[in-house]
Amino acid sequence: MKRRRGAAPEPGCLRAWAAESEALAGRWRAARCAGPRGAEAAARQQRGAFGELLLRMRGLPAALPALPLELTVVYNSLLFVMGTSDRVVEGEAEGIRQGLLRVLEACGSSGQDLSTEELWQKVLQEVTDEELRAPLHRLAALQAAWWLATSRLRSVTGLFQLLSSAEDSGRAPCSRGENKLLALLKAWRVPAKGVSTSLVQSAENLKETLCTAAAFLQGLQELEAGNLPAALSLLQKAAGGFCSKRVLAQIYTCLGCCAQQMGKPQTALQHLKRALQVDFQCLPALSHVAAVYQELGETDAELQALGLLYEALEKNPPSAASFSPYFLIRTELLVHTPILTSLLRRRQPSEVKYLLAQRCLQEGRVADAVEHYLDFLAVLQEGLQQQVPLDGGSALPRIPEAFLEAASALEQDGRHRDAITLCEEVISRTTDLIPRALLLVEEGLEQPESPSPGMGLAGGLLSQKRESLHCLTWRAAAYLHQGWAWVKLGENKEAITQFSRCLSELLRFPLCGPGAEPTGNLLAEVEVLQKIRLLSLIGRGTQFLELGKHKEALLDFQYGLQVSPGDPAAASYLVQALWKLNRKQEAAAHWQKHLERPTGEDGQQEGQGRPFPLYLVSCVKQAAFPQRESLARSIQDYLRTMSQDPFS
Amino acid sequence: MAAVPPGDGEHALPYGGEVLVLWLAAAGAGAGAGRAEAAAELRVRRMALGAGRFAHRSSGAFGVRGRRRDAGIVCCGCATHSPTGVVLPCVLLRRKKRSDAVKYLLLSLHGSNRFELSCQFELDYELKEDVRLFGGPSVLWRHADRLFYISPDTRTVLSAPVQLSSVVWAGEIEGEGTVVLGVRTARLRESEAEDELSTSDRAIWGTEFFGYAIEAQKMLASTCFMPHAYSRVVSSVHVCKSEMLKEQLRTSVVAVTHKNQLIWFQDGRPKGVCELPYEKPCSIKTAVTSGNQLLLIVSFASGNICVVRSENLQVASKWQKVKSVLVDDFVGSGTEQLLLLFKDDSNADLLNTFKITDLGRVNYESGINYEDDVPAAEGLQENGLLTIQALEKRLQAGLTSVRELQQHLGLKKRVLTESCRALIDLVEERSHVLPTAKKEGLVSLWDDVENPPHSLSKETSSTSKVPDHFVEKLWQRVVGESLVVGVKLTESFYLSLSDVSLSLVVDQDFSSISPIIECRNKIIKLNKAFSALSVSSCQIEPPPKKMKLDLHSKNDLKKEVHKKCSNIHLEGAKTVTAVTSLSPLLAFHCVCCVVLLHAKKQKHQNDGLQKSKKITLLCGKILLSLEDISNGKYSVKMLRDSSYCTGSMEDILAVLAASMRFSFQIQSSDFTLTSVNSWLLGEMECTPFKECHDHIFCHKAGNVYGTVFNWTLKSPFEGILTLFCRSLTVLFQCLHSLTRVLPPSCDVKLLKSGSKGVLTEQLALALEKEMLTSRTSLSSKESKAENSLTRQNEPGKNISDAPVASLLDSEDKVQQFRMKLQNEREESVLNMNQTMNGTLYQEMTLKIAEAQLSSDMIVWRLSKS
């Protein structure tokens, strides 16, 4: 800089500000070496200091020579604002807007009423000052970050179109099927770094972060929209970009989910593995791995994955998003969409434990299931509030159902008395929750579809009814389990008592005739109830049979068939009871009516309708008729003799 | 209260804890139409605070000649009365004369309510802009962009030799007397005006401050108050402090601007900013309240007031609808308070609705009597203040003692380290053999590696066959100061060699110099992704048996390479290059050199042991003349062709051979390393070679031009950057530039001898070889011993060979097994007592030592990397 000899340099504001900005940036560079915690405090300080400097600069009229510095200070200050914000960035970047207005002010123009997009257009078209190009472009990158964070992709695309057209209109970015925004971002030439201005995060770095974030964000959008191949290619681009370990693991997890949805489980597993290799803290990847294995039917691997997940969750309580002192704007600040949150939902240890138990039970690994269920119940005892996630995505069932499942597992494992105790728990807990009679239910069932004026009230009433129905179901199921457990212990009388209790419990809900098929909202619940009633009747019937009370047994089986017409177990028992009462003709008739045709009907029965709750599966198995073959043989013999000798 | 004065003409002035209310009244106080025509009279009423309201103390009057209608109060204030040196209230009165002229009277009010005429002057215009009273008492004003004032000495109107647009402040400055601070359009020096890039405030914002000392009638340097930049926005200024220190004016200035900011300046530099809550600030006052707190009081054009604390520049309080704000010690507490006079619709007494506050313990509001609780609060406040002061003192004392302790500790530490050092010296003096011995050990290890012991195997082993045609190409290139000679060997031949090197021998007979030219040998492998270059003498060949494993992996690698690159790519591996300094050769003008190839030829013996034989072969001759070099015959041509760098394979090899090679392992703990690639392609303007894409050539103009890079990512977080550069300066330049783009959590490590992973692999191989060597040599010894023994059982059959499980089927077999075991046990006992001949032992130990040496060397390199 030329300066006349002898004239002392006056302490001009511009120079003073430049020096101060430089000093602040220097202090930041020194501070960020002091570890994340110290750096975070320093960043907050810097945010204040840069803000104050900016305030001072804005205290003077906008002047072209001072604007490059001012825009740089805006850039630095906003970096700190974004980097230290605890929450998601929202709304407009007021600082950028003000900066643009100052630019227009210096050029003798104004744009107070314009939207930020229009303001950018005006500024980039009208301001031709070469000195302002670099800081404006940097600020534009920051604006893009802001817009990306609020998912305003179209605004970002528009802005970068403006930037590239301002640069050279001749060279249009190639677009052969490539993503437009990514192409624009890649083609954007980062302005050369000025001599006197220090940036707390380089524009090159910002550009790379933007590229990664834009690819990631669009990939997630495509994933949400179901355009899986597009999502896959975008996410792969994101995975090749600049980001932290944490984000890379997240991208790989999303890639894994995408591949899984595309029906490529092996690719999905590879991606998920990579996610875990990059960052083992990315535990959602592990739960996705379990899901993929379940899809593949590899139960061992699935259970291993779940077990590992549980262990990892136990050891590493979820850590808050860590502050990185090196880059104030990071991909994780720019990408937050609901789908990402749901993909990366961190399961609770209790949830994983339950999943383990449930999967074991479903796969018939009873001993393991018992272990896991007991662990799960212990976790519940420890502290329900912290352990149970209350959001919709939880895998946890209602607690009584978990109890019943545990009881079912215990029973299958031969620990009948434990199962009885557990059921007692359910019974005692639900005692006060069920109204004397569920008459309301029936009314509700009569006209469930009728739209009433007070829909909200009706909805509330309905949910209340459903809740009572649930309680009733659980309670009845608990008695049912107890009954079967006593059966296993050989205590016929005790078993009959429990089955009777179950049935009397169910009497609160009036039996629907076979003609009055329940429809509507509560259909599923009612079906479960009927199933319990059937199983209970069969159970009591078998016990009567054992005690030789054939008539009582016959009655129960008849009721059972009424409840569930055509049920093979009930029908078989009915035939047996009739046979034992020596009412062979009736028996044969029933046999022919219900049982002759289907032979492998058990499988069909399982497949029909909606699946019953997991806790009923063991009871269904127990209620199956055991000596089908011998009964069939004797009936067929009888029929043969009858046909030969009809008058005997 | 007698004679309620008309509200509009009332002026309130704080003086000595009292409020003076000044107004012009018609003489005689007669009511009615005659009032305007009546002679004017200036009246004053002294009001003092008592019992929660202002009470009338005394009053005075001054007869002004002329009609009431023509007279008016221009302004009033306090100024030094120069004859007595006492600060007195002053009033500037205006009286229109019959002609257009206006007469001005400056009166000062003495303690006895007596007005004294300080001076009077006549002007042909009305005073409107920037009228200020100052010591003397005297008055200054601005008219038609000029500054006028009444000289305190001569009592005549003078004008300052400046064009100005406004006066922002006038007051006393130590050593300079009364000083006026004004704003004028910037008058740039010629050089400044020419210089478009001028960053001076005046050049940017176009206006500047000026200071003018009235008594001395001279201009002052004004930058010690505020930067010129603020001359565009400042509306009012208050100089809080000014003192001469070492002939420099030190100032504290506070200013309010049109941008609604209050700015605190210290010695001309902005130190703090406060955003003001209202628009259009017009004036600023200060008050020193209890605890020596400085309050800055800003009045706005809209009649709003806000108070800012000076220590943190935060708005402490604000009020609306304020008629005026006065600062003085109204309650008599020893410090100043604010007296806020609110706008009153009833248009009654000026002092009707007021509030006195210092934003601390004093809080009076009109109509409410606080007298009772004031003393108690005062006492408490004072106690608190004293406690805090005492605590502060204690804190300071504590701090000092801590500092002293720290100094003491530092001193102790220094003494300790010094004594330790002395002790070490003492010990070392007595046994200074130890370090040298250590050193020797290191050197000997290295020397052994440099000169590997030649094999003891028979020199007269079967003559190795050298194919007739083994050189595919012989070429030479000139790169900078060096000559690069390359020999490309046929692939099959190359694979049978190890420890390949070239030497250059001058063909002509120059008696004066040694015919052998000193040169460096390099084999550059371009096909392998990492360890791009390996100098043959340092490369440890893995044993052939292990080669299988290694070859397998190499094949995989090659396949990958094939996919990525062209066939030529592999050629680099078969080329041996020699680099030598060019200038000594050029001294001969034209020189012919013979190129000799030295190598160890491997051959595989039956027992799998590797034997090698040194061979020397003539590859050809090269002719080097200055003319050819001048014509650029041997120069390297690298062209930038769109996105690739084109150059022949020889050119690339020559550049790589002539450069220094550095490999850096770059590891990032938290962020992916994509920035390296964008740095290479962006900032360094690199393009990949067409022939081998993983090496890229730097086209950036300047020192770094011609540097070749190879960037290999092993994972998103780890990679190896290899640089081939001309000099260390270039290396440092590149690294400096690189460090700016790397994520700062990066770990950059110079790989001195291969990457850790490769070395670890090599170590594993070497250890395996070591183990195999000892096993094979022992077994060979055993087989020789076996021959000399008479043995009962058939040779070569071992129990362990047969499947044990099948032997244990029946009792008989178990018995058999037991017998065999017994036999073997006896045999091994016999073996233990065997002797062996000397040469066999010698050979064996040598082999084992060789193997151990190589693994030791790798361990050493591993430990250094």
Whether residue A36 is predicted with pLDDT greater than 80 in this model: the reply is: no
Is residue A107 a contact partner of residue A131, using CB atoms and an 8 Å limit?
A: no
Q: How far apart are CA A301 and CA B817, in angstroms?
A: 44
**Tokens coding B307:** 């108070």
Whether residue A457 is predicted with pLDDT greater than 80 in this model: the reply is: no
Interface probe, candidates B190, B194, B196, B204, chain A, greatest A C-beta count within 10 A: B204
CB contact under 8 A, B230 and A60: yes
Name the residue facing B273 among A15, A52, A248 (closest C-beta): A52
Whether residue B35 is predicted with pLDDT greater than 70 in this model: the reply is: no
Quick one: pLDDT band at residue A8, thresholds 50, 70, 90?
Answer: very low
Question: Amino acid letter at B118?
Answer: S
Which residues is B410 bridged to in the sheet? Answer: none
Q: Is A208 in the B-facing interface, judged by CB distances under 8 Å?
A: yes
Beta-sheet strands, E only, within A427-549 = none
pLDDT tens profile A258-290: 988 888 888 888 889 889 888 888 888 888 998
Q: How far apart are CA B824 and CA B791, in angstroms?
A: 11
Helix (H) or strand (E) holding B588: none
Q: Which residue has the tokens 């042909």?
A: B124
Predicted local distance difference test score (pLDDT) of residue B563: 34
Helix (H) or strand (E) holding A93: none
Mean pLDDT of A578-605: 64
pLDDT tens profile A399-412: 777 788 888 887 77
Query: B485: how many CB neighbours lie within 10 A of its CB?
Result: 27
Between the ranges A8-12, A334-338, A631-635, B557-561, where is the mean pLDDT highest?
A: A334-338
Chain B residues with beta carbon closer than 8 angstroms to that of A324 = 670
The mean pLDDT value of chain B amounts to 76
Which residues is B501 bridged to in the sheet? Answer: B598
Which residues is B578 bridged to in the sheet? Answer: B485, B521
Whether residue A636 is predicted with pLDDT greater than 60 in this model: the reply is: yes
Q: How far is B719 from chain A (nearest CA, A)?
A: 14
Mean pLDDT of B263-287: 88
Query: B97: how many CB neighbours lie within 10 A of its CB?
Result: 11
CB contact under 8 A, B672 and A244: yes
**Tokens coding B498:** 């190890």
Predicted local distance difference test score (pLDDT) of residue B28: 63
CB contact under 8 A, A4 and B191: yes
Predicted local distance difference test score (pLDDT) of residue A459: 59
Whether residue B214 is predicted with pLDDT greater than 60 in this model: the reply is: yes
Interface probe, candidates B201, B231, B264, chain A, greatest A C-beta count within 10 A: B201
Whether residue B402 is predicted with pLDDT greater than 90 in this model: the reply is: yes
Least confident of A63-72, B482-491, B799-808: B799-808
Name the residue facing A205 among B200, B263, B675 (closest C-beta): B675
Predicted local distance difference test score (pLDDT) of residue A195: 58
Q: Count of A–B CB contacts within 8 Å?
A: 116
Mean pLDDT of B263-290: 88
Chain B residues with beta carbon closer than 8 angstroms to that of A206 = none
CA closest to A327 among chain B residues: B743
pTM for this structure? 0.71
Alpha helix (H) residue ranges in B648-751 = 649-658, 674-678, 728-741
Whether residue A443 is predicted with pLDDT greater than 50 in this model: the reply is: no
Between the ranges A276-290, A414-428, B431-445, where is the mean pLDDT highest?
A: A276-290
CB contact under 8 A, B233 and A55: no
Predicted local distance difference test score (pLDDT) of residue B557: 38
Predicted local distance difference test score (pLDDT) of residue A645: 64
Predicted local distance difference test score (pLDDT) of residue B526: 64
Predicted local distance difference test score (pLDDT) of residue B245: 79
Is residue B239 a contact partner of residue B171, using CB atoms and an 8 Å limit?
A: yes
Predicted local distance difference test score (pLDDT) of residue A4: 38
Distances (CA, A) of B671 to A246, A270, A330, A459, B277: 9, 21, 10, 51, 45
Q: What angle do CA A360, A364, A368 make, to 5 degrees?
A: 45
Q: Is A52 in the B-facing interface, judged by CB distances under 8 Å?
A: yes
Q: Is A170 in the B-facing interface, judged by CB distances under 8 Å?
A: no
- Beta strands B177-185 and B261-266 are unpaired
**pLDDT over 90 percentage in chain A:** 4
Whether residue B337 is predicted with pLDDT greater than 80 in this model: the reply is: yes
Is residue B539 a contact partner of residue B768, using CB atoms and an 8 Å limit?
A: no
Predicted local distance difference test score (pLDDT) of residue B307: 92
- Beta strands B354-357 and B471-479 are unpaired
DSSP code, position B6: P
Backbone angles phi, psi at B189, to 5 degrees: -70, 155
Whether residue A312 is predicted with pLDDT greater than 50 in this model: the reply is: yes
Name the residue facing B200 among A12, A204, A245 (closest C-beta): A12
Q: Could you write out the DSSP letters of every residue in A219-237?
A: HHHHHHHT-HHHHHHHHHH
Whether residue B778 is predicted with pLDDT greater than 80 in this model: the reply is: no
CA closest to B676 among chain A residues: A242
Predicted local distance difference test score (pLDDT) of residue A214: 92
Interface probe, candidates A28, A53, A57, A60, chain B, greatest B C-beta count within 10 A: A60
Backbone angles phi, psi at A322, to 5 degrees: -80, 150
Predicted local distance difference test score (pLDDT) of residue B758: 77
Query: A347: how many CB neighbours lie within 10 A of its CB?
Result: 24
Predicted local distance difference test score (pLDDT) of residue B371: 47
User: Using only C-alpha atoms, what is the Rg of chain A?
Assistant: 36
**Tokens coding B294:** 């400085």
CB contact under 8 A, B228 and A242: no
Residues of B with CB under 8 A from a CB of A: 189, 191-192, 195, 197-201, 203-205, 223, 227-230, 232-233, 257, 259, 261, 263, 268-270, 272-273, 275, 670-672, 674-675, 678-679, 682, 716-717, 740-741, 743-745
CB contact under 8 A, B229 and A242: no
CB contact under 8 A, B229 and A244: no
Interface probe, candidates A242, A278, A322, chain B, greatest B C-beta count within 10 A: A242
CA closest to B222 among chain A residues: A10
**Tokens coding A557:** 């089986």
Predicted local distance difference test score (pLDDT) of residue B409: 92
Chain A residues with beta carbon closer than 8 angstroms to that of B269 = 11, 16
Give the contacts of B418 (CB within 8 A, at least 6 positions apart).
none
CB contact under 8 A, B675 and A204: yes
Least confident of A292-301, B438-447, B845-854: B438-447
Cα four-point dihedral sign A565, A569, A575, A578? negative
Name the residue facing A58 among B201, B259, B679 (closest C-beta): B259
CA closest to B313 among chain A residues: A52
Q: How far apart are CA B422 and CA B467, in angstroms?
A: 68
Q: How far apart are CA A311 and CA B860, in angstroms?
A: 41
CB contact under 8 A, B270 and A13: yes
Higher pLDDT, A441 or A87: A87
Mean pLDDT of A74-102: 80
Helix (H) or strand (E) holding B123: strand B115-123
CB contact under 8 A, B201 and A10: yes
Higher pLDDT, B9 or B358: B358
- Beta strands B639-641 and B293-300 are unpaired
Q: How far is B223 from chain A (nearest CA, A)?
A: 8
pLDDT tens profile A336-386: 888 888 888 877 777 888 888 888 888 878 788 888 888 888 877 776 555
Q: How far apart are CA B639 and CA B257, in angstroms?
A: 61
Q: What angle do CA B645, B646, B650 make, to 5 degrees?
A: 120
Predicted local distance difference test score (pLDDT) of residue B404: 92
CB contact under 8 A, A10 and B228: yes
CB contact under 8 A, B223 and A15: no
Backbone angles phi, psi at A128, to 5 degrees: -110, 0
Predicted local distance difference test score (pLDDT) of residue A604: 43
Q: Is A236 in the B-facing interface, judged by CB distances under 8 Å?
A: no
Chain B residues with beta carbon closer than 8 angstroms to that of A190 = 682
pLDDT tens profile B383-396: 788 888 889 889 99
Mean pLDDT of B90-99: 84
Let me know how long chain A is. Answer: 648
Q: How far apart are CA B57 and CA B18, in angstroms?
A: 9
CB contact under 8 A, A2 and B195: yes
Q: How far is B746 from chain A (nearest CA, A)?
A: 11
Q: How far apart are CA B388 and CA A284, in angstroms?
A: 56
Whether residue B279 is predicted with pLDDT greater than 70 in this model: the reply is: yes
Least confident of A92-96, A566-570, B658-662: A566-570
Chain A residues with beta carbon closer than 8 angstroms to that of B675 = 204-205, 208, 242
Quick one: pLDDT band at residue A91, thresholds 50, 70, 90?
Answer: low
Whether residue A462 is predicted with pLDDT greater than 90 in this model: the reply is: no
Q: Is A373 helix (H, G, I), strand (E, B) or coil?
A: helix
pLDDT tens profile A150-187: 888 888 899 988 888 765 544 444 445 567 888 888 88
Query: B574 exposed, middle or buried (CB, 10 Å; 0-12, 13-18, 19+)?
Result: buried
Q: How far apart are CA B317 and CA B300, in angstroms?
A: 14
CB contact under 8 A, A14 and B199: yes
Name the residue facing A10 among B200, B259, B744 (closest C-beta): B200
**pLDDT over 90 percentage in chain B:** 4
Q: Could you write out the DSSP letters of every residue in B216-239?
A: TTEEE--TTTS-GGGGGTEEEEEE
pLDDT tens profile A52-83: 888 888 888 888 888 888 888 998 888 888 88
Mean pLDDT of B222-233: 84
Give the contacts of A97 (CB within 8 A, at least 6 positions apart).
A116, A119
Chain B residues with beta carbon closer than 8 angstroms to that of A245 = 670-671, 717
First-to-last CA distance in chain A?
130
Whether residue A582 is predicted with pLDDT greater than 60 in this model: the reply is: yes
Question: Amino acid letter at B230?
Answer: Y
Mean pLDDT of A75-95: 77
Between the ranges A44-58, A342-356, A596-610, where is the mean pLDDT highest?
A: A44-58
Mean pLDDT of A501-530: 65
The mean pLDDT value of chain A amounts to 77
Whether residue B154 is predicted with pLDDT greater than 50 in this model: the reply is: yes
CA closest to B191 among chain A residues: A4
Interface probe, candidates A14, A54, A67, A101, chain B, greatest B C-beta count within 10 A: A14
Q: Is A195 in the B-facing interface, judged by CB distances under 8 Å?
A: no
Predicted local distance difference test score (pLDDT) of residue A448: 40
Q: Is A264 helix (H, G, I), strand (E, B) or coil?
A: coil
Q: Is A326 in the B-facing interface, judged by CB distances under 8 Å?
A: yes
Q: Is A105 in the B-facing interface, judged by CB distances under 8 Å?
A: no
CA closest to A277 among chain B residues: B715
Name the residue facing B678 among A10, A12, A208 (closest C-beta): A208
Backbone angles phi, psi at B836, to 5 degrees: -140, 155
Q: Is B5 helix (H, G, I), strand (E, B) or coil?
A: coil
**Which one, of A1, A34, A31, lies nearest residue A18 by Cα?**
A1
Query: A60 exposed, middle or buried (CB, 10 Å; 0-12, 13-18, 19+)?
Result: buried
Helix (H) or strand (E) holding B445: helix B433-450
Q: How far apart are CA B455 and CA B470, in angstroms?
A: 26
Question: Amino acid letter at A171?
Answer: R
Backbone angles phi, psi at B797, to 5 degrees: -110, 125
SS (H, E, C) A532-561: HHHHHHHHHHHHHHHCCCHHHHHHHHHHHH
Q: How far is B466 from chain A (nearest CA, A)?
A: 50
Quick one: pLDDT band at residue A511, thresholds 50, 70, 90?
Answer: low
Alpha helix (H) residue ranges in A363-454 = 366-382, 384-387, 399-412, 416-430, 439-446
Q: HSE on the CB side for A397, CA within 13 Å?
A: 20
Q: HSE on the CB side for A219, CA within 13 Å?
A: 29
Q: HSE on the CB side for A235, CA within 13 Å?
A: 29
Backbone angles phi, psi at B225, to 5 degrees: -95, -55
Least confident of A593-597, B4-8, B420-424, B748-752: B4-8
Q: How far apart are CA B667 and CA B307, in angstroms?
A: 56
Quick one: pLDDT band at residue A522, thresholds 50, 70, 90?
Answer: low
Name the residue facing B745 among A52, A58, A326 (closest C-beta): A326
